Amino acid sequence: MRTLTLLLLLSFTLFAQAAARDQLDIGKRWQVVVEDAAEWNVTEVDARPLPWQASRWAAPNLGFTARPHWLRIVIKPDELAAGHWRLWIHNSLLSDVRFYLFEDNQLVEQQVDGLWHRLDERANSFRYPAFLFRANAGREYRLYLRVQSETALQVPATLVSESRFALEKARDDLMLGLFVGVLFAMMLYNLALYITLRELSFLLYVGHVGALLLFVCSWQGLGATYVWPGLIGLQSFSIALATFLVIGFSTWFCGVFLGLNRDNFPLLNLFWGLRNLAFAGALVTPLLPAQWAVLASSLLSVPAVFLVIKAIVMRASLRQRPTRLFALGWALYVTGAFMMALNKFGWIEVNDASENLLLWSSVFDMMLLCIALGDRFHGLRAERIRQLQLAIDEGQRSLEGISGKLRREQAARQALTQAIGGQEDYARQLETRLRERGRELDLLQQQLEHASENDGLTGLKNRRYFSDRLYEEVERHRHLGTHFSVLVIDVDRFRQINESYGHLAGDECLCQIADILRQRLRRPADVLCRIGGEKFAVLLPDTSADGAIALAETIRDRVATCPMLCAGQRIMATVSVGISDVNGQQGTYAEWILIQADKALQRAKADGRNCVALAG
């Protein structure tokens, strides 16, 4: 046991010595020249007695400045073990970094890096500047850096051996990959939800996450190194572009999620104006000097943060779980953004907390917002279902009242019949009246049932009726293996028709398109319905894909070539058709069939509209 303890102590000592040998602490050893020596070469800077000043922090942080600065570190003999070392600068946004190494008063190494240089000109192809040099034992070294940046001029650097650099680089890449992967997965998930549910808040969340991903790719050097390595000018303004987009989408998402309007938020015009200003900034960013764009986007983030906080305080009810999650997520995100702003303006020290707090607070923020968004959607859906159930209950009570009235009239008829006795003529008249009233009630009930299945504008069956018939056809398909198809037809650019000719003309246009569809459906078994807005659906029992395509092309061609007189105006409209084909071999369900048809419709829209697409 004693021997084992000694071996463990010896191993720990050797490990500590090895760890000490593969990294040199250069914190607070940086010196910065205060004179304007930007145009001097390194030989002049090394030879002249310049007023070097010690850095305020372990990592030099000069804030936003366009002027180049010289920095140096003096390394005494025997501080570096013999071997290969790297000066690793953890800042991918530096525009121009020039590295010079003096060994015993002789210049032995010079390298360049930064965003203003192509990848083949840089010291390495890593996303951070990392200058490699060989150190010999017993030599004095002076390391010089000439640094210039279009963003904040910060030099958080470490001096590590080549082996330790490889290990820490792999760790950093793994953590960043995990971060990007989580955000990308949440963006795709919510994009799928938007495509399925057509809820604006999901699309705004996707835009928010996408803008944040662009910001991370620019900030962490992924864009300049892997995504757009040859576009040097793009990196100069990508960080400002991403910042403007993050501000625009985050404020927009916040306003929609909290349901801001003029009644509940007095600063609504300022709120939406700031959102519009952010998107306008994103558009003009390529036209501005890079440093101006970065500074403008950073300054715009300050009022954006305060307005979002005020909106949350006024509108977020902590009694509800979605708003609690929303407020917590934004608190984390705003804290990270605030720490980063202080960091970039040179007001606090550059360290792991101030640099990486925004990254991980963003991950937690996006996760909490995703959960809150789902809770909010389910809450709204439950409320709509409750309102619908109340309407159904009210209708049932009305029907019960009518039935009770009918029963009372029938009882009165029987009583009158018994009382009148021999007055058969009067009894027959009364019975006739009661039968007529009963027929009227039956007709009224039929009209109510008919109204619940018919579209009031076009006279077609509605979505509810279509869903019932589609479920029946799916059951028939499962038991008999029948073949059927579904068409989803959407009027192209219908909003433009409403805006250009008026809603009355738009309604008449829908009615005339409905008449065209009726004329093209010859079989009694075919089902034509209006399932919402400018969208129609056709169920074609015992119809193959070829037959469905032929019918869809006939409909498309007829609509495109048929001028319509709507509200006294001649309108030419077109439709796009998506087809879902169900053969006798596959098991499926009604929702899936409609989703496939909708996907095919979106592909037809993407192919230029006025065309037909079959679900793959």
Q: Rounded to whole angstroms, how far apart are CA atoms 109 and 100?
A: 6
**Exactly one of 355, 473, 508, 534 is catalytic; which is it?**
534
- Two tokens, residue 40: 């001097």
Q: Where are the beta strands (DSSP E) in 66-138?
A: 69-75, 83-89, 96-103, 106-113, 130-135
Helix axes of 463-480 and 424-453: crossing angle, nearest 10 degrees: 80
* β-strand partners of 159: 24, 87
Query: What crossing angle do the helices spanning 321-344 and 232-258 adopt, rounded to 10°?
Result: 150
DSSP 347: S
Element (H, E) at 24: strand 23-24
Yes or no: say if 198 and 490 are a contact pair by the CB < 8 Å rule. Answer: no
Report which DSSP code applies to 531. E
| Phi, psi dihedrals of residue 83, rounded to the nearest 5° | 145, -170
Amino acid at 273: G
CA 184 – CA 241 distance, rounded (Å): 19
Look up 449 and say whether it is catalytic: no
Asked whether the beta carbons of 81 and 159 are under 8 A apart, the reply is no
| 416-424: long-range pairs with CB below 8 Å, 24+ | none
* Exposed/middle/buried for residue 294 (C-beta within 10 Å: 0-12, 13-18, 19+): buried
Burial of 408 (0-12, 13-18, 19+ CB in 10 A): exposed
Nearest Cα residue to 115 out of 131, 100, 101, 129: 129
Distance CA 119, CA 320 (A): 51
Of residues 330, 336, 316, the one with CA closest to residue 367: 330
Contact (CB, 8 A) for 343 and 355: yes
Burial zone of 331 (CB within 10 Å; 0-12 exposed, 13-18 middle, 19+ buried): middle
CB 85 within 8 A of CB 121: no
Q: What tokens appear for 539 in the block? A: 């169920």
Q: How far apart are CA 562 and CA 565, in angstroms?
A: 10
Catalytic residue set: 534
